[in-house]
Structure 1
Amino acid sequence: MGSVSVAAAASLSSLYHLSSSSLLHSLRLIPLRTLPRISCCLSSSSSSSSSSSSSSSASSLQFNISFAPPKPKPKPTESDQPLTLADLQAGPNGQLFIPWIVRGEDGNLKLQMQPPARLLHSMAHAETKNKKKKKKETVEKGEPKHSKAARRFYNENFRDSEQRLSKILAASGVASRRSSEELIFEGRVTVNGSVCNTPQTRVDPARDIIYVNGNRLPKRLPPKVYFALNKPKGYICSSGEKKSVICLFDDYLKSWDKRNPGQPKPRLFTVGRLDVATTGLIIVTNDGDFAQKISHPSSNLSKEYIATIKGVVNKKHLIAISDGTVIEGVHCTPDSVELLPPQPDMSRPRLRIVVHEGRNHEVRELVKNAGLDIHSLKRIRIGGFRLPTDVGLGKHIPLRQGDLSALGWKS
């Protein structure tokens, strides 16, 4: 019995070694990557010496192994070729080019002679952005905007405040520009202790000591003021007269010190003139530059009048007024003539006449040349500013910045 069992064990071991060696041999012969599927089978049999007559039981184990298909290799390009020293020195005169190290689409780093396309695109986009920003900055710098307080601070502390002596005297309220020049010619004005006979001498009242007729000129100039006055009949536009329109501002000037402590009083005068019998809108100010700008013919400001006529107005009268007339050797024609509709409280006809020449008694001469007589004449508009209807005769209102702009003035 012992010899039989030994022989059976030897046969089983040889069978096991044979099956293992054959399996290894088969795995070595067949490449793994070429097989999409591999099946392996191992079998083992056992017998017991005590139960020789019983049937042998066999067990089998099966393994299924699958492999993914191989990835296709990317085709080699010119940039994938390795760079040599000759390539780096391919420029003129043997110039050395610095290669770019970039990551390709396959995820690997590589060398190339040209910078990446993304970098070139971003650099071009950044240049266009910077150019646009510079243009915006130049536009903003060309039109600086400062507040009113900042402009006042600059004018008081840094701006050159020297002006002509005659202009300083007129702005200080001593006299008109022409009268100030006469005072200077007469030797009644001294600057820093010396008599000055030249009206064009540039002085600064804040630094120079100026005397007029023995009285010290204030260091600070009065602020500029602008008024719209509804002139009544019987007042003249000249300053210093008994019944001047400036007399209508006496109450305003008397309360000046309470409203503006420490500031000198302004010397007021009219912009242009209205004759004694004419009523309506007239501008009063102490700004000589403003008055010269508004009253000069180059401003081309239109003026609107309402003329109340004695008698009856016919079509031929309107045509005669539209044809114009000669005043001081110049043929003057109105911009427009219109017969206003009658009103219940006014029995006399009224004409709206718009002129821009500004000649002396121009409207009266136009109506007179047509064979009509004027009962009353009133000016209601200058440029783009119209006299408010709630301003009574002899009353005045201050002009705001919008009103000055309507008159064509930019401060």
Structure 2
Amino acid sequence: MAMAVAFSSIQTFPSLFSNQTLRFQPLRRRLPLFLASSSSSSTTEFNISFGTATSPRPSKTLVPDASPPDPSSASLPIIPWIVRDENGNLTIQSSPPARFLQSMAETKTSSSNSKKKKKIDNSKSKEKNTPPTPVASTAPKYSKAARRFYNQNIKESQVQRLSKVLAAAGVASRRSSEELIFEGKVTVNGSVCTSPQTRVDISKDSIYVNGSRLSKKLPPKLYFALNKPKGYICSSGDESKSVISLFDELWKGWNKIHPRIPKPRLFTVGRLDVATTGLIIVTNDGEFAQTLAHPSSELSKEYIATVDGTVHRRHLIAISEGTEIEGIKCVPDSVELLPVQPDASRPRLRIVVHEGRNHEVRELVKNAGLQLYSLKRIRIGGFRLPSDLGLGKYVELKPADIRLLQGNSRKSA
């Protein structure tokens, strides 16, 4: 009976069910209230009215979200956004407004830029606090080759002794250049210079020798391995039988290949007597030649000595014991009897020395009681004479060959 009264009372408000937005489920939850109130009196009427504001307000409409529903987010609560539309009316929507998203993006961009700026400022401050790396102002105290490389490629000032500059420019040897300076045949910046120790810079100073101006450019450093023939002398003069005359072909096209660069003055590193053949180094680098030829380097040199007669054990023992040359006892590093070749009837000896004194190998063979027929040098240091290099021919050395020349000494062994 109470249920009937409740429904009869609800029927008095047809407008309540005319609104399709209301659902029956919330109404069922309120039924106990209706039942409780109807139990007290069967004639109770519900006077439900909605209060109205004193001033009219714009109606609120729900704007549906145009994005497709996400099944995974169906259980998540929807946060409404109350915004004002173009007409000034308040509306409710489920997504943030566009201007809010734009302002958030601008804020994020500005914050990231500020962080980058702070990182850059911090790095700059660290760089300012870091002390500068010291630059070496003096030549490194290493080997002569390292100091020479430093002076030629790194050192700004190319100030050198006048006699050394003249020799490097190909004017004459170091001693002959000093004689020219003493004789007053050299002028520096318009004044006669008589001191070989005068420091000059060929790129800045004006130098004249016998009235001819010295070129501002020095010739390049050249290194050759020559297979010296018999009958040629190791001289840098104008003799026709000088080993330097074997390089005449090199100078014919020099001016075309190297315009305005003077011809280098070549000379031999050490000497071979007129009757000895084989390997000899020819260059225009004075320091390199001095390092290679100086006895302190103790570079090993290998010779093939062809002798007349028969070689016995006592001969080999006599050679290995050494001999006195110019008051100094010279002992070879090794002595070996080579196998007999089919096309050669004379025995051959391989003799390795490091002193490099004048006629050393010849004196060793002579002191042993043997008669020397021919002598040929085939190795200096770690560089061996190419087997296909004919007599009187030369080949330009590569950096690896130069290292071989300097890298096989008796000290390192």
TM interval, short-chain normalised:
0.5 to 0.7
The one-letter code matched in structure 1 to 2:265 is: R
Q: Report the Cα offset of residue 213 of structure 1.
A: 1.1
Which of these residues, 211, 228, 243, is aligned with residue 231 of structure 1? 228
Distance 1:347 1:276 in 2: 24
TM-score scaled by length of structure 1: 0.62
Asked whether the 8 Å contact 2:307–2:373 carries over to 1, the reply is: yes
Pairs within 5 Å for 1:102-251? 155=152, 159-240=156-237, 241-251=239-249
Whole-angstrom CA distance in 1 between matches of 2:161 and 2:151: 20
Aligned to 1:345: 343
Question: Shift in Å at residue 265 of structure 1?
Answer: 1.0
CA–CA distance in 2 between the matches of 1:349 and 1:402?
34
Report the 3-state secondary structure (helix = DSSP H, G, I; strand = E; otherwise coil) of the residue aligned with 2:302. strand
Structure 1 residue 288, shift from structure 2 partner: 0.4
Query: 1:261: how far off?
Result: 2.5
Match of 1:382 in 2: 380
Shift, 1:156, TM fit: 6.6
Range that drifts further, 184-193 or 339-348: 184-193
| Deviation, structure 1 residue 158 | 5.7
Which AA in structure 2 matches 1:208?
A: D
Instruction: Return the alpha-carbon distance in structure 1 between the equivalents of residues 177 and 258 of structure 2.
Output: 25
Cα 1:320/1:156, change in 2 over 3 Å? closer
Which residue in the other structure is 2:257 paired with?
259
Structure 2 distance, partners of 1:395, 1:174, is: 26
Within a 5 Å distance, the mapping from 1:268-307 to structure 2 comes to 268-307=266-305
Does residue 329 of the first structure (1) align with residue 327 of the second (2)?
yes
Offset of residue 260 of structure 1 = 2.0
Q: Which amino acid aligns with 2:317?
A: I
Q: Which residue of 1 aligns with 2:353?
A: 355
**Secondary structure at 1:293's aligned position in 2?**
helix
Q: Which residue of the partner structure matches residue 362 of structure 2?
A: 364
* Residue deviations 1:49-73 (CA, integer Å, cap 9, x gap): xxxxxxxxxxxxxxxxxxxxxxxxx
Q: Gaps spanning 5+ residues in structure 2: where?
A: 3-129, 135-139, 141-147, 408-413
Gap change, CA 1:345 and 1:369, over 3 Å in 2:
same
| Cα separation, 1, equivalents of 2:388 and 2:179 | 41
**Aligned mates of 1:244, 1:210 — CA distance in 2:** 30
Amino acid at match of 1:199: P
| Consecutive unaligned residues in structure 1, runs of 5 or more | 1-8, 10-133, 144-150
**Secondary structure at 1:407 match in 2:** helix
The structural deviation recorded for 1:206 is: 1.2
- Distance in 1 of aligned mates of 2:155 and 2:330: 48
AA paired with 2:253?
Answer: S
Distance 1:332 1:153, change over 3 A: closer
Question: Match of 1:306, SS?
Answer: strand
Q: Structure 2 vs 1, CA of residues 216 and 249 (structure 1 numbering), >3 Å: closer, same or farther?
A: same
Q: Secondary structure at the match of 2:406?
A: coil
Q: Distance in 1 between matches of 2:387 and 2:220?
A: 28
CA–CA separation in structure 1 for the residues paired with 2:399 and 2:338: 32
Matches of 2:155 and 2:176, distance apart in 1 = 31
Output the amino acid matched with 1:286: N
Q: What secondary structure does 1:305 align onto?
A: strand
Alignment TM-score, normalising by the size of structure 2: 0.61
The 10-residue stretch of structure 1 (206-215 or 275-284) with the greater mean CA deviation from structure 2: 206-215
Deviation digits for residues 211-266 of structure 1 (CA, Å, limit 9, x no counterpart): 11111111110000000000000000011123100000000011112222232211
SS at match of 2:324: strand
Q: Secondary structure at the match of 2:175?
A: helix
The 1:156–1:263 alpha-carbon spacing in structure 2 relative to 1, beyond 3 Å, is: farther
The letter of the residue matching 1:233 is K
Residue 400 (structure 2) pairs with residue 398 (structure 1): no
Q: Write the distance in 2 (CA, Å) between the matches of 1:407 and 1:153.
A: 21
Identity %: 72
